[in-house]
Structure formats: C-alpha cells, structure tokens
Amino acid sequence: MPKNKGKGGKNRKRGKNEADDEKRELVFKEDGQEYAQVLRMLGNGRCEAMCIDGVKRLCHIRGKMHKKVWIAAGDIILVGLRDYQDDKADVILKYMPDEARLLKAYGELPESTRLNEGIAGGLDEEEDGAGDDYIEFEDEDIDKI
C-alpha cells in the first residue's frame, strides 16, 4: 500500500469557513454589472437568473465562489454582463439575506422583487387560496358513485 503524502482529505478541504463575511461592506453595482435573482440551478457551476433589467440570463459561477459560496434558487446575486454575449453573465457576488433587504431599502432592487422565497418571481400563487385543496361532496353524489 502506498504511503499517504497529503495533509488530509475531504474534511480538511471543508475545514476553515472562509465565508465569515459578517459585517462586510455592501457592494453596489457598477457599469457592466447587474443585480439578478436566481431562478434555478442548472449544475456544472451554472444557474439561470432573471436580471433586474428584465432579461433571463445563463450565469456561470466563478471559480473563486465554486464550492465555497452556495447559491440556491431565490438568492439575490450580482452578475457581470458580457460584452459579446447578452444572454450570458458571470456571478460575481452572492448577497446575504440582510444585504438583499438593504439593497431593496436603498432602492437598488425594485419593490416587486420577492426576497427570501424558494423560487423567484411570484411562481407560487398557492398562498392566495391555501384552503381550497379539497372538494366537498353531497351525500347524493357519493351514492351515485
């Protein structure tokens, strides 16, 4: 059997939490950047996001964030737009929920943006009629069946 020459395995790589960004400075968008909300994760370091300017883009998670910053559907992210491909973008930063609320309060995000939802963009209309999931039958209807 060969000797182990490494310094450890998978758990060592997970070890230090480098995402201890408590009280980090709020980053606003610059030119060539846009705010977006993740619609769904696609795998292979990519996600589909709806940008604030109304364009749905395929976003690539940069290597510095890959496997360190976990992105889920509904998260607010900052994407860098590509000059040569309008339908693709690169994820620069993921905003924490409190930072996203601050962005909305500062007017950077529109009021229609729904924060901390599972899926972005108002796809869950079930909340309006939550108790309408059953059908009530009369006794005569049951006898006919």
Q: pLDDT class for 22, splitting at 50, 70, 90?
A: low
Q: Is the pLDDT of residue 2 over 60?
A: yes
Report CA-CA distances (Å) from 141 to 101, 132, 137, 138: 51, 19, 6, 5
The 10s digit of each residue's pLDDT in 25-84 is 888 988 999 999 999 999 899 999 999 999 999 999 988 888 888 899 999 999 999 999
37 or 119, greater pLDDT: 37
Q: Under a CB-based contact definition with an 8 Å cutoff, are residues 37 and 76 in contact?
A: yes
pLDDT digits (tens, 9 = 90+) for 102-112: 999 998 888 88
Contact present, 45 and 66 (Cβ < 8 Å): yes
